[in-house]
Amino acid sequence: MSKKILAAFLVTASGLGLPLASAQEPPPDAVFVNGKVATVDADFTVREAFAVRGGRIVATGTNAAIRALARPNVTAVHDLAGRTVLPGLIDSHVHAPAASMFEFDHEIPSMETIAEVLAYIGSRTKVVPEGEWIQVQQVFITRLKEARYPTRAELDATAPKHPVAFRTGPDSMLNTLALQKCGFDRDWIVKDGGPGYLEKDPSGELNGLTRGLARSINLRSRSRTATEADHLRRLQEQLRDYNQIGFTAVADRGATPESMKRYVALRDRGDFTVRVALSQTFPTVGSMESIRGAIDEIAKNPLRKDDGWLHLIGTKAWLDGGMLTGSAYMLKPWGRNESYGIRDDAYRGVLNIPADRLLEMVRHVAQHGMQFTAHVQGDGAVTALVDAYAAVNREKPIRALRMGLTHSSFMTRDTVERAAKLGVVIDLQPIWLYLDTRTLVNQFGYERLRYFQPLKTIFEMGGMVGGGSDHMLKIGDLRAINPYNPFLAMWTTLTRRAKWYDGQLHPEEALSRRQAIEFYTRNNAYLIFWEKEIGSLEKGKRADFIVVDRDLLTCPVDEVKDARVLETWVEGKKVFAQKKA
Ligand SMILES: [Zn+2]
Q: How far is the CA of 251 from the centre of ligand 1 (A)?
A: 10
User: Smallest Cα–Cα separation from 274: which of 429, 91, 516, 532?
Assistant: 91
Closest Cα partner for 496 from 412, 417, 557? 557
Task: Report helix, strand or coil for 52.
Answer: strand
Residues 114-135 have pLDDT tens digits of 999 999 999 999 999 999 999 9
SS (H, E, C) 3-40: HHHHHHHHHHHHHCCCCHHHHHCCCCCEEEECCEEECC
Distance of CA 216 from the midpoint of ligand 1 (Å): 24
Spatial distance between the Cα atoms of 351 and 222, rounded to a whole number of angstroms = 36
Ligand 1 center from residue 459 Cα (angstroms): 23
**Cα torsion angle, 24, 30, 36, 42, sign:** negative
* 84-98 average pLDDT score: 98
Cβ neighbors of 496 (< 8 A, separation 6 or more) are: 433, 504, 505, 506, 507, 509, 510
- 358 CA to centre of ligand 1 in angstroms: 19
Q: State the distance from the centre of ligand 1 to the C-alpha of 428, rounded, in angstroms.
A: 10
- 574 CA → ligand 1 middle, Å: 29
What separation in Å is there between the alpha carbon of 89 and the centre of ligand 1? 18
d(C-alpha 29, C-alpha 337), whole Å = 61
Look at residue 4 and tell me whether its pLDDT is greater than 60.
no
Based on the number of CB atoms within 10 Å of its own CB, is 72 exposed (0-12), middle (13-18) or buried (19 or more)? exposed
The alpha carbon of 454 and the centre of ligand 1 are apart by a number of angstroms equal to 20
Reference 168, options 155, 145, 150; nearest CA is: 150
Whether residue 519 is predicted with pLDDT greater than 70 in this model: the reply is yes
C-alpha of residue 482 to centroid of ligand 1, in Å: 9
373 C-alpha to ligand 1 centroid (Å): 11
* 335 contact partners, CB below 8 Å, separation of at least 6: 342, 345, 443, 444
Number of alpha carbons in the 13 Å side-chain half-sphere of residue 296: 6
Q: Give distance in angstroms: CA of 406 to centre of ligand 1.
A: 8
Rounded CA-CA distance 90/242 in Å is 10
Distance from the alpha carbon of residue 468 to the mean position of ligand 1, in angstroms: 10
Measured distance CA(283)–CA(455) in Å, rounded: 31
Taking the centre of ligand 1 as the mean of its atom positions, its distance from the CA of residue 289, in whole angstroms, is 26
| Angstrom distance (rounded) from CA 542 to CA 309 | 11
For residue 472, the CA-to-ligand 1 centroid distance in Å is 7
> How far apart (Å, rounded) are the C-alpha atoms in residues 206 and 568?
54
**For residue 512, how far is its CA from the centre of ligand 1 (angstroms)?**
26
CA distance 368 to 364: 7
CA 377 / ligand 1 centre spacing (Å) = 11
Distance CA 429, CA 519 (A): 11
Alpha carbons 483 and 432: distance in angstroms, whole number: 10
- Find residue 375's DSSP bridge partners: 318, 406
| Structure confidence by residue, pLDDT tens digits, 486-518 | 999 999 999 999 999 999 999 999 999 999 999
pLDDT tens-digit series, residues 317-330:
999 988 888 899 99
255 has pLDDT over 70:
yes
The answer, yes or no, to whether the previous bond of 482 is cis (omega within 30 of 0) is yes
Distance 508 CA to ligand 1 centre (A): 27
User: DSSP string spanning 112-170?
Assistant: -SHHHHHHHHHHHHTTSPTTS-EEEES--GGGSTT-SPPPHHHHHHH-TTS-EEEEETT
CA of 469 from ligand 1 middle (Å) equals 8
Share of the chain above pLDDT 90, in %: 85
- Count the alpha carbons within 13 Å of 321 in the hemisphere toward its beta carbon: 20
What's the CA gap between 142 and 149, in Å, rounded?
9
Q: What is the pLDDT, as a whole number, of residue 222?
A: 64
Q: How far is the CA of 471 from the centre of ligand 1 (A)?
A: 7
| pLDDT the model gives residue 170 | 76
Distance 271 CA to ligand 1 centre (A): 24
Interval 461-466 mean pLDDT: 98
Residue 259: is its pLDDT beyond 50?
yes
Q: Look up residue 557 and give its DSSP letter.
A: G
pLDDT tens across 73-83, in order? 999 999 999 99
CA of 477 to the centre of ligand 1 (A): 16
Confidence at residue 581, expressed as pLDDT on a 0 to 100 scale: 65
231 has a pLDDT exceeding 90: yes
- Per-residue confidence (pLDDT) for residue 305, from 0 to 100: 97
Ligand 1 centre to CA of 374 (Å) is 10
- pLDDT (mean) for 526-536: 98
* pTM, to two decimals: 0.92
How many angstroms is it from 341 CA to the middle of ligand 1?
Answer: 24
Distance in Å, CA 6 to ligand 1 centroid: 56
Please write the tens of the pLDDT for every residue from 160-202: 999 999 998 778 999 999 999 999 999 998 888 777 889 999 9
492 C-alpha to ligand 1 centroid (Å): 19
As a whole number, mean pLDDT of residues 542-570 equals 98
Sheet holding 206-211, edge to edge: 134-137, 164-168, 171-174, 206-211, 197-200
pLDDT of residue 12: 42
**Gap from CA of 93 to ligand 1 centroid (Å):** 6
CA–CA gap between residue 113 and residue 464 (Å, rounded): 37
* pLDDT digits 0-9 by tens, 355-387: 999 999 999 999 999 999 999 999 999 999 999
- N-to-C CA span, the chain: 51
Could you tell me if residue 35 is left (phi over 0), alpha (psi between -120 and 50 degrees) or otherwise beta? Answer: beta
299 alpha carbon to ligand 1 midpoint, in Å?
A: 21
Q: Rounded to whole angstroms, how far apart are CA atoms 554 and 560?
A: 9
The 76-79 sheet, strands edge to edge: 56-61, 49-53, 30-33, 76-79
- Average model confidence (pLDDT) for the chain? 93
